[in-house]
Structure 1
């Protein structure tokens, strides 16, 4: 005879065609609910992981991990400061910069912009800018006077391409014969970059020499030193420690002040959405309870016969626990397979829908990236599937206990 008996009977009950089709429908609904819940959890957490990854790689690859500036004035002795900064073992690279806020105009179109004066060779060490040049070249900043590299979205908003002219307007007035006029400078577009984020619409880069001229600095003066750390999460603390170890009065800024709200929002949304979708799994588990309760009622006579043949209460419990657990296993495996497939293909699927129907789900004017990322992490998959299996198993205990409490004489009285 097939051993163990509980597994054999439980599998037979699951596979057998029931005369009560409503019970079969509830069993199928429980399985499908569990499958959809698991799949939705995997896909959504993968998308949230994708946003988290893109924030770290793209946004935090472009903006400084931390900066050190001299308190109240530009930095005149920046070479010695950079030398002291580079001695820290946690600093991967550093680079000087000059920054200015202003507006770029072309043919009546005006856009606000943050302009960075950089040294292209040093910038390669601290950012991913050089890896995302779309047109032109970053090195042209060293060879062409008053050249500018724009974000791709910014260039499209202004309607310019490489070789076109744009006017930079700084919010500093200059006294002239005509009175107070804003400071203007004409730049030639020498390149564009694209990182697929909101930074494409708000950043521009010029050479440090040109930046010093428009801000009326001496050639050996910069606004600060940009730092890149081996662990960006230690940037706030490490930057303060480095600044405190320097001679003079310096202040620090880091990515948690400029873009930390995005990271915190993604982490919070990941937890809350995960919790809400987890309720789908719980609903499916309650369906398993309902299914088994009805199966126990439908199989009272069979249970009574098994009891009269010597089946113990524990064996009866295991029969129905096998049946409910099998529903959970099938639903979880199907949901895991569906979720993994969607998580691996959802970026391409959404891009295809956008191209086919001419719609855009993520507008760069609203969201910090313009496409739907996905990052499938196997620990999340194992946690979700394992939790679903545990919940499915726990959902079988009460109905199985009800079945084990069946009294043979009462169940067979009217048979």
Structure 2
């Protein structure tokens, strides 16, 4: 089969890993009962893990055996790093060089700015990911062992699983209530939040931050991408934390029953989660409708580009804001932080955002048509799936099989990105050979 676009190879890679994961989860050894799991639950779990989402139709700690949990963990790691990133690493180890086609595929997955950057980006991604996961796993293992009396082996296992899940923004937990039991424990919450932020900022941003420690990088200007990502990510983090804390402050089912410092900790934790992590230390079903709507917006925006987070990405959101600001001011071109924004980037941002809105609306309408759940719950579910977040009001397992396939489609599209998926399905590029006469329709 001839691949006409590297995006096709990315889609095919994710699909292949999902298929393998589904078959492994269907094995009798993967469940605690020793019985084979049905196709739909196994497929849904595999898609959720590969797409680093965290939505589940069966309870992870009670349904899956140690083997099954290991499969889920492996799928999370592969999905977080990216199938093409792992393929690039294997090519470097075996051939010591990258072929042009594999470089293009890796570029499509890692969003590297040039082919010459792919080798450096891939190596940095692997080293950074493993380093963060190891450090977070050690911190969590120490807390599980010393603070909760877990045996050495169990503490290490819990630490590794939750570290990998957090860094990859997956949201899978080995507790039936996610992290509600640790809502007031800063030694669990802060490492989890740190891993989520590092994974959600995006590999290019974190790598640039690390490079700033080197002498040769001192004094160089920050890249526009890094400045936009850090400013927007930080701003949305503050907005989410304040909104959740203020709205839920007096809700007896959430923050209202906690002490002051615990309210602040839980509010911060749930301000971080919409970055597409999916863990919860509060019962999401008990959140106020206003909080759910705020979370919908934050989950749809997501995290940084080329990272483990989903959504349309904070850079897309910020660039659209700059485009609107320039249009309101009547400026012919868009300028961002002393740089001019190319028209192609503006069109890409608009395309990603509108395709995201259309995808979420289509999924929401489909679920509303086939279920009797409220709009708040259904919209939250579809945005969570598209943004690869994994938080739920508890309706995932109650959906009909057709509804679960809708969520699987949303997770797959959300992980790969609307533009990547669309380009993968395109047979070939069609450059315009001529321009037609210009005419301006009335807008508004």
Name the TM-score, length of structure 2 as normaliser: 0.23
Q: Which has the higher strand share?
A: 1
Q: Which has the higher contact order (CA 8 A, sep 6+)?
A: 1
Decide which structure has the larger Cα Rg and report it.
1
Higher helix share: 2
